[in-house]
Protein backbone atom coordinates (compact mmCIF):
# COMPACT_ATOMS: atom_id res chain seq x y z
CA UNK A 1 0.00 0.00 0.00
CA UNK A 2 2.87 2.38 0.76
CA UNK A 3 4.29 1.79 -2.72
CA UNK A 4 0.94 2.34 -4.43
CA UNK A 5 0.35 5.58 -2.55
CA UNK A 6 3.87 6.73 -3.53
CA UNK A 7 4.54 8.13 -0.05
CA UNK A 8 7.60 10.34 0.25
CA UNK A 9 7.78 10.10 4.06
CA UNK A 10 6.75 6.88 5.75
CA UNK A 11 6.95 6.54 9.53
CA UNK A 12 6.53 3.41 11.62
CA UNK A 13 6.22 3.50 15.40
CA UNK A 14 7.60 0.06 16.23
CA UNK A 15 6.72 -2.00 19.30
CA UNK A 16 9.32 -4.42 20.64
CA UNK A 17 8.12 -7.95 21.43
CA UNK A 18 9.56 -10.15 24.15
CA UNK A 19 11.05 -12.21 21.34
CA UNK A 20 11.67 -10.99 17.83
CA UNK A 21 9.88 -13.17 15.29
CA UNK A 22 8.75 -12.87 11.70
CA UNK A 23 5.42 -11.30 12.64
CA UNK A 24 6.91 -8.42 14.60
CA UNK A 25 9.22 -7.36 11.77
CA UNK A 26 7.07 -8.29 8.73
CA UNK A 27 5.53 -4.83 8.40
CA UNK A 28 8.96 -3.20 8.56
CA UNK A 29 10.29 -5.48 5.82
CA UNK A 30 7.33 -4.69 3.58
CA UNK A 31 7.68 -0.96 4.17
CA UNK A 32 11.43 -1.06 3.49
CA UNK A 33 10.84 -2.78 0.14
CA UNK A 34 8.04 -0.36 -0.81
CA UNK A 35 10.10 2.70 0.07
CA UNK A 36 13.03 1.41 -1.96
CA UNK A 37 10.75 1.41 -5.03
CA UNK A 38 9.27 4.83 -4.13
CA UNK A 39 12.64 6.45 -3.50
CA UNK A 40 11.07 7.93 -0.38
CA UNK A 41 12.20 8.28 3.20
CA UNK A 42 11.40 5.59 5.78
CA UNK A 43 11.76 6.38 9.49
CA UNK A 44 11.24 3.84 12.25
CA UNK A 45 10.64 5.22 15.74
CA UNK A 46 11.71 3.01 18.65
CA UNK A 47 11.33 3.83 22.36
CA UNK A 48 14.84 3.04 23.66
CA UNK A 49 18.34 1.87 22.75
CA UNK A 50 17.55 -1.78 23.56
CA UNK A 51 14.64 -1.73 21.11
CA UNK A 52 16.85 -0.09 18.48
CA UNK A 53 19.40 -2.90 18.77
CA UNK A 54 16.65 -5.55 18.51
CA UNK A 55 15.11 -3.82 15.52
CA UNK A 56 18.37 -3.26 13.64
CA UNK A 57 19.45 -6.86 14.28
CA UNK A 58 16.16 -8.27 13.00
CA UNK A 59 16.21 -6.05 9.90
CA UNK A 60 19.81 -7.02 9.10
CA UNK A 61 18.87 -10.71 9.40
CA UNK A 62 16.02 -10.18 6.93
CA UNK A 63 18.39 -8.84 4.28
CA UNK A 64 16.54 -5.61 3.43
CA UNK A 65 17.90 -2.08 3.58
CA UNK A 66 17.84 -0.49 7.01
CA UNK A 67 15.52 2.47 7.47
CA UNK A 68 16.42 5.59 9.38
CA UNK A 69 15.94 4.65 13.06
CA UNK A 70 15.07 7.37 15.59
CA UNK A 71 15.22 6.64 19.32
CA UNK A 72 13.06 8.52 21.80
CA UNK A 73 9.56 9.26 22.94
CA UNK A 74 7.43 8.79 19.85
CA UNK A 75 5.46 11.97 20.47
CA UNK A 76 8.65 14.08 20.55
CA UNK A 77 10.11 12.36 17.49
CA UNK A 78 6.84 12.78 15.55
CA UNK A 79 6.89 16.52 16.19
CA UNK A 80 10.26 16.73 14.40
CA UNK A 81 8.96 14.97 11.27
CA UNK A 82 7.00 17.19 8.87
CA UNK A 83 4.87 16.00 5.96
CA UNK A 84 4.15 12.42 7.02
CA UNK A 85 2.24 10.70 4.21
CA UNK A 86 2.12 7.14 5.54
CA UNK A 87 2.04 6.35 9.27
CA UNK A 88 1.99 2.86 10.81
CA UNK A 89 1.53 2.50 14.57
CA UNK A 90 1.32 -0.69 16.61
CA UNK A 91 -1.71 -0.43 18.88
CA UNK A 92 0.06 -2.41 21.58
CA UNK A 93 2.10 0.72 22.31
CA UNK A 94 0.72 2.54 25.32
CA UNK A 95 1.13 5.92 23.57
CA UNK A 96 -0.35 5.04 20.18
CA UNK A 97 -3.15 7.64 20.38
CA UNK A 98 -0.71 10.45 21.15
CA UNK A 99 1.47 9.34 18.22
CA UNK A 100 -1.41 9.75 15.77
CA UNK A 101 -2.36 13.11 17.30
CA UNK A 102 1.18 14.53 17.30
CA UNK A 103 1.98 13.55 13.69
CA UNK A 104 2.42 16.48 11.31
CA UNK A 105 0.66 15.06 8.27
CA UNK A 106 1.31 16.09 4.69
CA UNK A 107 -0.91 18.83 3.28
CA UNK A 108 -1.66 16.42 0.40
CA UNK A 109 -3.35 13.95 2.76
CA UNK A 110 -2.09 10.80 4.44
CA UNK A 111 -2.68 7.12 5.05
CA UNK A 112 -2.84 6.06 8.71
CA UNK A 113 -2.55 2.41 9.74
CA UNK A 114 -3.07 0.88 13.16
CA UNK A 115 -1.74 -2.66 13.54
CA UNK A 116 -3.57 -4.97 15.96
CA UNK A 117 -6.44 -2.47 16.04
CA UNK A 118 -8.60 -4.15 18.65
CA UNK A 119 -8.35 -1.91 21.74
CA UNK A 120 -10.18 1.23 20.76
CA UNK A 121 -13.62 -0.04 19.87
CA UNK A 122 -16.85 1.85 19.79
CA UNK A 123 -19.01 0.32 22.53
CA UNK A 124 -22.22 0.41 20.48
CA UNK A 125 -20.93 -1.20 17.29
CA UNK A 126 -17.78 -2.98 18.52
CA UNK A 127 -15.83 -1.36 15.67
CA UNK A 128 -12.57 0.56 15.72
CA UNK A 129 -13.26 4.29 15.75
CA UNK A 130 -10.84 6.70 14.08
CA UNK A 131 -12.86 9.57 15.57
CA UNK A 132 -11.93 8.29 19.04
CA UNK A 133 -8.26 8.08 18.10
CA UNK A 134 -7.93 11.37 16.19
CA UNK A 135 -10.35 13.48 18.28
CA UNK A 136 -11.95 14.84 15.10
CA UNK A 137 -8.86 16.96 14.28
CA UNK A 138 -8.67 15.75 10.68
CA UNK A 139 -11.18 14.59 8.10
CA UNK A 140 -11.22 10.83 7.56
CA UNK A 141 -12.24 10.29 3.94
CA UNK A 142 -12.25 6.48 3.96
CA UNK A 143 -11.48 3.79 6.49
CA UNK A 144 -11.36 0.02 6.33
CA UNK A 145 -10.66 -2.89 8.65
CA UNK A 146 -8.67 -5.82 7.30
CA UNK A 147 -8.54 -9.20 9.08
CA UNK A 148 -4.75 -9.52 9.38
CA UNK A 149 -3.50 -10.63 12.79
CA UNK A 150 -5.72 -8.98 15.39
CA UNK A 151 -6.98 -6.51 12.83
CA UNK A 152 -5.47 -3.83 10.63
CA UNK A 153 -7.23 -0.47 10.66
CA UNK A 154 -6.53 1.84 7.71
CA UNK A 155 -7.73 5.42 7.22
CA UNK A 156 -7.23 7.88 4.37
CA UNK A 157 -7.00 11.44 5.68
CA UNK A 158 -8.11 14.36 3.51
CA UNK A 159 -5.71 17.02 2.36
CA UNK A 160 -5.63 20.38 4.12
CA UNK A 161 -7.24 21.96 1.03
CA UNK A 162 -10.30 19.78 1.55
CA UNK A 163 -9.45 17.67 -1.52
CA UNK A 164 -11.10 20.22 -3.79
CA UNK A 165 -10.33 19.82 -7.45
CA UNK A 166 -9.22 22.94 -9.26
CA UNK A 167 -11.24 23.48 -12.40
CA UNK A 168 -9.66 24.98 -15.47
CA UNK A 169 -12.97 26.06 -16.92
CA UNK A 170 -16.19 27.05 -15.25
CA UNK A 171 -19.25 24.95 -15.97
CA UNK A 172 -20.78 25.91 -19.27
CA UNK A 173 -23.28 24.76 -21.86
CA UNK A 174 -22.00 23.42 -25.15
CA UNK A 175 -24.28 23.42 -28.19
CA UNK A 176 -23.57 20.96 -30.99
CA UNK A 177 -25.59 20.50 -34.17
CA UNK A 178 -25.30 17.17 -35.97
CA UNK A 179 -24.73 17.98 -39.67
CA UNK A 180 -26.27 14.75 -40.96
CA UNK A 181 -29.54 14.73 -39.03
CA UNK A 182 -29.81 18.40 -38.09
CA UNK A 183 -30.39 17.51 -34.44
CA UNK A 184 -29.24 19.94 -31.79
CA UNK A 185 -27.36 18.48 -28.79
CA UNK A 186 -26.91 20.59 -25.68
CA UNK A 187 -24.30 19.34 -23.21
CA UNK A 188 -23.38 20.79 -19.86
CA UNK A 189 -19.69 20.58 -18.97
pLDDT in tens, 54-82: 889 988 888 888 889 999 988 889 889 99
Does the structure show a pLDDT above 70 at 107? Answer: yes
Residue 165 lies in a domain: no
Examine residue 64 and state whether it is found in any structural domain, yes or no: yes
Kindly report the CATH number assigned to the domain that includes residue 104. Answer: 3.40.50.150
Would 74 be classed as within a structural domain? Answer: yes
Residue 186 covered by a domain: no
Asked if residue 166 belongs to a domain, the reply is no
Q: What is the pLDDT of residue 69?
A: 93
pTM for the model stands at 0.75
Question: How many structural domains compose the chain?
Answer: 1
Ranking 19-28, 81-90, 99-108, 159-168 by mean pLDDT, the lowest is 159-168
Distance, in Å, from the CA atom of 105 to the CA atom of 78, rounded to the nearest integer, reads: 10
Residue 128's DSSP bridge partners are 121
Contact 84, 104 (CB under 8 A): yes
On whether residue 129 sits in a domain, the answer given is: yes
Range of the domain at 37: 2-160
Q: Would 131 be classed as within a structural domain? A: yes
- Among 137, 141, 135, 136, CA closest to 158: 141
**Is pLDDT above 80 for 85?**
yes
Domain assignment present for residue 83? The answer is yes
Q: Which residue has the higher pLDDT, 126 or 61?
A: 61
pLDDT at 20: 59
Amino acid sequence: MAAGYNAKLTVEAWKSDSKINGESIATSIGLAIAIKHNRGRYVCVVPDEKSRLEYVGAMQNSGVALPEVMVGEAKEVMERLNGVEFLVVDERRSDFISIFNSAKLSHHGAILMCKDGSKIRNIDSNKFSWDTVLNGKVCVVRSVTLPFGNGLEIAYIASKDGNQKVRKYAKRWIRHIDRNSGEEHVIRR
